Structure 1
């Protein structure tokens, strides 16, 4: 009896809705009704999401508001993946 390995090639394909571009842009995130903030850096960015870097990510909730340096608008974001120092987020439509 032989067992074939499952085809996992679809797992390595790009799943983002929009092309990301490299970035090094300061950010501030806001949560707990505006009482908690963290500063970090956007490492890549698109219209639909970003990779954000922090000293640590354990205290960052699954949803928050993010503002990019030079921009006055806050964008709602939801965490899609997390590591010790980075998180990948998708932007919500307001």
Structure 2
């Protein structure tokens, strides 16, 4: 019997972030809502038009390569790769 992995604890945030894609030629601004060791939740103006893989760039200079695992019009669930 396989166990479902325990989700990583999320830390609530309210910070500006950028989602970068198209080999760094395209950027969408967003708001980081929460983050964990394995992923993040980001609010955006329109999440439906983004590709499946993006780079999450934080204001402190940190970044994470991500796969979009949950997509709504104004919110994305990201998993770090």
What's the TM-score, normalizing by structure 1? Answer: 0.76
Does structure 1 residue 59 correspond to structure 2 residue 34?
A: no
Q: Which of 69, 72, 75 matches 1:80?
A: 69
Q: Flag the structure with higher strand content.
A: 2
- Quote the Cα distance in structure 2 between the aligned partners of 1:61 and 1:89: 12
- Post-superposition Cα deviations, 1:57-77, rounded to whole Å, max 9, x if no partner, equal 12211101111112x233100
Q: Distance in 1 between matches of 2:5 and 2:59?
A: 27
Q: Unaligned stretches of 5+ in structure 2?
A: none
Q: Which runs of 5+ in 1 are unaligned?
A: 1-13
* Structure number with larger C-alpha Rg: 1
Larger RCO, structures 1/2 (Cα 8 Å, 6+ apart): 2
TM-score by length of 2: 0.87
**Cα distance in structure 2, aligned partners of 1:17 and 1:75:** 18
Partner of 1:11: none
Q: Out of 28, 33, 46, which is 2:36 matched to? A: 46
Q: Secondary structure at the match of 1:58?
A: helix
